[in-house]
Amino acid sequence: MLQFDVLIIGSGLAGQSLALRLAESHSVALITKRHLEDGASAWAQGGIAAVVDPMDSIEAHMRDTHVAGAGLCDDNATRFVVEHGREAVQWLADQGVPFTPAEEGPLHMHLTREGGHSHRRIVHVADATGAAVQRTLTEKVRSHPRIHVFEHHVAVDLITGHKLGQAERGCLGAYILDTTTSQVETFAARTTVLATGGAGKVYLCTTNPDTATGDGIAMAWRAGCRVANMEFIQFHPTCLYHPQAKSFLISEAVRGEGGVLRLPDGTRFMPGHDPRAELAPRDIVARAIDYEMKKHGLDCVYLDITHRSPEFIHEHFPNIQATCLELGIDITREPIPVMPAAHFTCGGVLTDLRARTDLRGLHAIGETACTGLHGANRLASNSLLECVVFGEAAAQDIEAHPRPMPEALPGWDESQVTDADEQVVIAHNWDELRRFMWDYVGIVRTNKRLQRAEHRIALLEREIDEFYANFRVSNDLIELRNLVVSAELIVQSALNRRESRGLHYSLDYPDTLPDGRPTILENPRWPNGVHRWSEPG
């Protein structure tokens, strides 16, 4: 049994920022499925939204967030994040993140604008902000003596006192599979933090890395935590459409800097869908593209930035330009073929403003969590901000409420299982799940499609549970098990919402109700309140 003060599962911006904040006074285990650099944070191109310009305001940023969130953003969470925006950016700059500079202005950082924002407030590192942030923090994490990095490790499940029949019913750690040895190890911790990202891989087309399989959401759900707003899956409107490009994102900032969307014949179509045209929030742009593709029988539409100078394009979008050039697309001369793809999980494990879940000793941060900030649709560049702000909130809460180290925990029991006889079962189920989720639970939904998905998920769950009970765990089996749980939560949440709001658009319920309420699911296998925190802490 390995023991640490804090066990952090996930190594994106949320997990790494928390590890760095705690490591001076805590022993920290940082679990990552592949390498430290492989999380979704490194794929973020746009930047970090923060009020740093005197012409901008907290109220304006909050208003933009609420408008994008379609009336479902939690006001306290929104204010909490926005008010800590400048502080979060300054912390990242202090760590050495090389934000694109400006000769004058606040913090001497260049500010860009993205869809849904009323002001220029996006600090960035050219068009590869996430990669720069991740690279900077990774260097510090690797060199810190109190942060123990476990690469090629994947969490199997949380260990709870309730499962072990103990009086302390909170989270005690997790079982972790070392994928290099195929051995499951027991990690005990005073506090466990889920920072595993979203569930984009539940869909056939996604901008997410292969590791985004809803692990933290599924583990928390199985442990008795509530989840919220899982029906709100953000589809990024502009994923590069090319047979040799896997999940390459064309940044929101391309439209923010004047890029326009066109049909193959050159017709611009966004003004006919929304008065904000290309600067409308992502759900509106994605739905418009989906509509035009289906109406005209298209595989993609085109994003045109050719009216800007080659020098401007190279300065602002060097990574996008270079990648497209490798594929034979010169974005200074020709438009970029794009299509929508699943991008961000707005819902997740329900947390409070201290990043605490329903389970004592368990926090959740980043895309895994549902803090209430994003509501029914995430405003561009609020996600990296949320990671840093709630990483700090979790650190403060963990330091303020120390917990005892768990006593001896039982090891992983493999006495009743054997090696899997046919891996093809996992591969087939994985493919089937992602395809019917794309077809039935995509940008536009109907009750009939959702019910078909619900039926298929129930069948898959039975097959996967039987497989899990009889065979040794593997990375693919763990991820498939978590994806099916995530899919079930998305479908159940969508069926519960009898309106169209934000990212959830139903042909059966096209109107938006006057009173927006979050969708909160409770696992029926757990009695209400069995794990709930008592105040304070």
Q: Domain-by-domain residue ranges, the chain?
A: 2-231+346-400, 236-341, 424-510
State yes or no: is 498 an active-site residue: no
Query: Per mean pLDDT, which range of 384-393, 467-476, 484-493 is the poorest?
Result: 467-476
Distance CA 480, CA 137 (A): 30
Among 3.30.479.10, 3.50.50.60, 3.40.50.410, 1.20.120.1760, name the CATH number for the domain at 2-231+346-400: 3.50.50.60
Among 1.10.443.10, 1.20.58.100, 3.40.50.150, 2.60.40.10, name the CATH number for the domain at 424-510: 1.20.58.100
Phi, psi for 3 (deg, rounded to 5): -120, 135
In terms of C-beta density within 10 A (0-12 exposed, 13-18 middle, 19 or more buried), how is residue 239 classed?
Answer: buried
Distance CA 478, CA 464 (A): 10
111-162: pLDDT as tens digits? 988 878 999 999 999 878 888 999 999 999 999 999 999 999 999 999 999 8
CB contact set of 35 (below 8 Å; sequence gap of 6+): 151
Pairing of strands 233-240, 260-262: unpaired
What's 236-341's CATH class? alpha beta
274-320: pLDDT as tens digits? 999 998 877 889 889 988 998 999 989 999 999 999 999 999 999 99
Distance CA 380, CA 439 (A): 26
Mean pLDDT of 348-361: 96
Q: Judge if 2-231+346-400 and 236-341 fold alike in CATH terms.
A: no
Give pTM, 2 decimals. Answer: 0.90
Give the model's confidence band at 536: pLDDT under 50 very low, under 70 low, under 90 confident, else very high: very low
Distance CA 533, CA 303 (A): 48
Amino acid at 38: D
Q: Which ranges constitute the DSSP H helices of 317-423?
A: 318-326, 383-400
Of the residues 222, 282, 308, 445, only one is catalytic, namely: 282
401-451: pLDDT as tens digits? 999 999 889 999 888 888 876 678 888 999 999 999 998 999 999 999 999
Q: Which helix (DSSP H) or strand (DSSP E) does residue 160 occupy?
A: strand 153-160
